[in-house]
Amino acid sequence: KLVSREFQEQSTSFNVGNCTIGADEVVVMAGPCAVESEEQLLESAEGVKAAGAQILRGGAFKPRTSPYSFQGLEEEGLKILARVREKTGLPIVTEVMDQHTVGVVAEYADIIQVGTRNMQNFYMLRELGKLDKPILLKRGLSATIEEWLMAAEYIASGGNRKVILCERGIRTFETATRNTLDLSAIPVVKHLTHLPVIVDPSHGTGNWRWVPSMSRAAVAAGADGLMVEVHPRPEEALCDGAQSLTVEKFEALTEDLDKVARVL
């Protein structure tokens, strides 16, 4: 398989903006779950940038469990992301939900995110395989590592080798956390594949309280980066407020990451 370490011994790395994903540095992607307005996104972006984040996240197409929940600003959200990138210089990562919108999302995004619910949307993966743009592939809610790597293979076999794997928690019997963050996936996946691996402790735990410790643990375990939800006012967030850090708490987290990196 193209994504296997057997096929390619050397770790894959590529540049996004000023940072290199899959190299020695830990790349931090942060921002709100959803783009709600230009003011909200700009405030988030300026806050996470000052705290050291290199990439801005924000969903414009939102895969919500309930059809009555906020579904995202769609193309207007993508335009806001592009304007905030212009103002802050931060590259953007945002989710695509179906194969018909791959084109429009690719026009705006620097990294295209495939959400956990779409990890095995094989038609969409094939479309993404035709692009020359990094794809952030989240692990399916109940996907084994083998299934996750096969999903990456769909993209790579289409010609796009720039795939970032993202562990975001899996379904287990445990209900105290939203998902069970599988930190053991980091060394296992790094052994099996040359692709970069990042961790999303926000969806992994579902509660901002557990995000800093799981971020430190992910970096200590060898993750190439993190994706963290940050909102200027989490209590007002239209999506995932309970797991979103304030900018102040996110600042404290990035300082702690530097300490972890120093002892490694």
Alpha helices for 117-184 (secondary structure H)? 122-129, 145-157
* Interaction partner, residue 77 (ligand PEP, Mn ion, none; CB < 5-8 Å by kind): none
d(CA 94, CA 117): 15
Instruction: For Mn ion, give the closer residue by CB, 54 or 243.
Output: 243
**Binding letters toward ligand PEP, positions 103-142, x by CB under 6 A:** ------------xx---------------------x----
Tell me if 163 contacts Mn ion by CB under 5 A.
Answer: no
Judged by CB under 6 A, the residue of 16, 28, 30, 33 near ligand PEP is: 33
Contacts of 12 (CB under 8 A, 6+ apart): 22, 161, 162, 163, 194, 195, 196
With contacts defined by CB under 6 A, how many residues of the chain interact with ligand PEP? 8
Which entry of Mn ion, ligand PEP, none binds 116, CB below 5 to 8 A by partner kind? ligand PEP
Comparing CB distances to Mn ion, the nearer of 224 and 240 is 240
Residue 244 DSSP symbol: P
The answer to whether 93 and 162 have CB atoms below 8 angstroms apart is no
- Minimum CB separation of residue 130 from Mn ion in Å reads 27
47 vs 177: CA distance, rounded Å: 27
* Interface pick for ligand PEP out of 63, 158, 222, 241 (rule CB under 6 A): 63
In whole angstroms, give the CA distance from residue 66 to residue 175: 19
Q: Which of 38, 53, 25, 74 is nearest to 228 (CA)?
A: 53
Q: What x/- string results for residues 139 through 178 when contact with ligand PEP is judged by CB under 6 A?
A: -----------------------------x----------
- DSSP strand pairing (135-138 vs 111-114): parallel
Interatomic CA distance for residues 55 and 135, integer angstroms: 14
> Quick one: 199 or 253, whose CB is closer to ligand PEP?
199
Q: Which does 138 bind (CB under 5 to 8 A by kind): ligand PEP, Mn ion, none?
A: ligand PEP
Q: Return residues touching Mn ion (CB under 5 A).
A: 33, 240
Q: Return residues touching ligand PEP (CB under 6 A).
A: 33, 59, 63, 115-116, 138, 168, 203
